[in-house]
Amino acid sequence: MTRTVIAHLTRPDGETLAFRRVEGSGPTVLWIGGFRSDMEGTKALALEAAARAGSWSYVRYDHFAHGVSSGDWRQATIGRWREDAIALIDHLGGPVIPVGSSMGGWVALLAAQARPHAVAGVVLVNSAQDFTERLMWPSLADHERQAILRDGEALITDPGLGDYVLTARFFEEARRWRLLDGPLRLAAPVHILQGAEDDVVPWQHQATLLECLAGGDVILERIAGGDHRLSAPAELARLEAAVGSMRARVAG
């Protein structure tokens, strides 16, 4: 596959978002990755291959303090990632279909709220809205929670995500962006893919989202045997089909 050139969007504070773009037709499919994931992941690359094959417009990018984008990890927050996604949508112009994976699903929903006229549809993959309070904090070891409360931060060691710092500010700021405390009104249709065996974001988390969503049509696909990655060939095919279906739906 021909490599796309990395472009950069400079933010008001001088930080830069790195992204790769495939020129094509229709609404721009915008890949929004997960917590500590970059734009070189399996699902992001699979969608790029599908975009090339189908002549879609497609963009994948790295969040602030992820991959080859700039930024101090300790300054990263849900609000910052939200603002950056909105800025990229504004930069791209025209209709956009955010495809959010895990934490990226939370960011995609926040962006759809903020830009209802630009977001034509939303695809979510094991979406982790409100994960800081509902999923991450309860999963931390007691000594990690105590360190955050006492010292303002804790070093987390995770075989899959590497060593990283979690700050008290990260959790406090995220409360501003919670979506599951009441009705979530979106004009755009939503298609959710959820692994039935996901032990990071359990399928019941999407049941709560369904109870909150109001406005657009919603499809939930519960994928038997699927884990948090949803990166097996058959699962990637389901993702490509969901995005293709959404493109067709919003095209009218």
Q: What share of the chain is helix, strand, coil (3-state, %, to 5)?
A: 40, 25, 35
What confidence tier does 216 reach under pLDDT thresholds 50, 70, 90? confident
Mean pLDDT, rounded, for 106-113:
98
| For residue 1, pLDDT beyond 70 | no
**Would you list the domain boundaries of the chain?**
6-131+182-251
Angle at CA 79, nearest 5°, toward 78 and 81?
A: 65
| For residue 161, pLDDT beyond 60 | yes
Both tokens of residue 50?
Answer: 């599908």
| Per-residue confidence (pLDDT) for residue 2, from 0 to 100 | 54
Q: Per residue in 190-211, pLDDT tens?
A: 999 999 999 999 999 999 999 9
- The sheet with strand 96-101 has its strands ordered as 6-10, 16-22, 56-61, 25-32, 96-101, 122-125, 190-195, 218-223
pTM of the complete model beyond 0.95: yes
- Considering the four listed CATH numbers 3.30.460.80, 3.90.320.10, 3.40.50.1820, 3.20.80.10, the one that applies to the domain covering 6-131+182-251 is 3.40.50.1820
What confidence tier does 3 reach under pLDDT thresholds 50, 70, 90? low
- Dist CA 184 CA 227 (whole Å): 26
Q: Per residue in 6-39, pLDDT tens?
A: 999 999 999 999 999 999 999 999 999 999 999 9
- Dist CA 210 CA 206 (whole Å): 6
Q: Per residue in 57-90, pLDDT tens?
A: 999 999 999 999 999 999 999 999 999 999 999 9
Q: Per residue in 163-195, pLDDT tens?
A: 999 999 999 999 999 999 999 999 899 999 999
| Per-residue confidence (pLDDT) for residue 252, from 0 to 100 | 64
- Classified as helix, coil or strand, 67 is coil
| Per-residue confidence (pLDDT) for residue 215, from 0 to 100 | 76
Q: Per residue in 122-151, pLDDT tens?
A: 999 999 999 999 999 999 999 999 999 999
Upper half-sphere CA count for residue 235 (Cβ side, 13 Å): 22
| Per-residue confidence (pLDDT) for residue 214, from 0 to 100 | 86
